[in-house]
Amino acid sequence: MSWRLVADIGGTNIRFAKSALGEIRSKRSYPVAQFPSFLEALEFFLRDEGDDRKSCGSAAIGAAGPIDGEWVQLTNAPWLLDAREISAALSGADVLLCNDLEAAALAIPHLSSDQLRPLGGGELDVRAVHRMIAINVGTGFGAATLLRTPAGWMTCPSEAGHMRLSPADFGMHAHPSLHSVEDVLSGRGVLNLYEGLGGVSAGKSAADIFASAAIDSAAKRCVETFTEIFGSIVGNLMLATAAWGGACFYGSVAAGWTNVADLPGFRNAFIGKGPMSIRMKTVPLALVTYDDAALVGLAHVSIPS
């Protein structure tokens, strides 16, 4: 039976799986830093799975970087992916490269309500909406818009993490590490923010800082500032895309933040958009709690022959 290779490549980890008829199986995860290239990681996965590449009919790969035709350079890792080389490694299978947030966005129509944690604005109902946005906060920051069309769901990627961010807009002094959205809203961004607020980040992760917010004043201010900036940036992205159907959040940093955040304060920062504030109040936000969502999106995406 023919199967599809699906791969979700972030800045830290790569997750492979096989899919058939939209179902995910044979999942494996590896550190990106373990391999000098995607092709070597692919060969490792194929060997782990008994190397049945000749029955692979297609491959859908979501990568954390801007797509340029048939190749993509990862933003936070030194891999360069070439669709033609990947096809050759898979015995001529059709290959689709897309941005990792496009893969995450394409999963949204296939998620159940128990795979979404509501964060205000009502219940997110995919059946009733025409435009939504997927936002990831993990190793980096990314966003992609999901649009319903007569031909089905389509995506529009972005490089939102590299938008300019001014710390002064949020009452902070200038800091040499805070220039873009990703410099704050990401794993390393939490460390940057913590240091900018007087903390010592050596040996700590974003999860450590979030977990210490109740006992560490710098960590507490870090969570509060992260919450304000995150709410404001999500609101800006909502206005820029008119994705009134809602926003879905992905990523380990987003998940850890929700456990300690002042969510009403986050909603206030999200909603506070002048004349558009009334409209923003009704926009549903949710955290995706299903780890394999991006793989599901890749399993369902159409691949041109």
**Are 265 and 126 in the same domain?**
yes
**Are 122 and 77 in the same domain?**
no
What's the CATH code of the domain at 175? 3.40.367.20
Share of the chain above pLDDT 70, in %: 97
**Are 196 and 268 in the same domain?**
yes
Residue 20 lies inside a defined structural domain of this protein: yes
Looking at residue 74, what is its pLDDT? Answer: 94
Question: Domain of 155?
Answer: 112-288
**Are 268 and 181 in the same domain?**
yes
Q: Count the domains in the chain.
A: 2
**Are 228 and 82 in the same domain?**
no
What's the CATH code of the domain at 69? 3.30.420.40
Residue 92 lies inside a defined structural domain of this protein: yes
Residue 154 lies inside a defined structural domain of this protein: yes
SS3 of the chain:
CCEEEEEEECCCEEEEEEEECCEEEEEEEEEHHHCCCHHHHHHHHHHHCCCCHHHEEEEEEEECCCEECCEEECCCCCCEEEHHHHHHHCCCCEEEEEEHHHHHHHHHHHCCHHHEEECCCCCCCHHHCCEEEEEEECCCEEEEEEEEECCEEEEEECCHHHCECCHHHHCCCCCCCCCEHHHCCCHHHHHHHHHHCCCCCCCCCHHHHHHCCCCCHHHHHHHHHHHHHHHHHHHHHHHHHCCCCCEEEECHHHHHHHCCCCHHHHHHHHHCCHHHHHHHCCCCEEEECCCCHHHHHHHHCCCCC
Report whether pLDDT(304) > 90: no
Q: Encode pLDDT of 263-293 as tens digits.
A: 999 999 999 999 999 999 999 999 999 999 9
**Are 246 and 131 in the same domain?**
yes
Report whether pLDDT(174) > 70: no
Q: Encode pLDDT of 47-88 as tens digits.
A: 999 888 999 999 999 999 999 989 999 988 999 999 999 999
Residue 106 lies inside a defined structural domain of this protein: no
304 or 213, which is more confident = 213
Residue 107 lies inside a defined structural domain of this protein: no
Q: Encode pLDDT of 27-54 as tens digits.
A: 999 999 999 999 999 999 999 998 889 9
Mean pLDDT along residues 155-164: 94
Q: Encode pLDDT of 254-263 as tens digits.
A: 999 999 999 9
Looking at residue 127, what is its pLDDT? Answer: 80
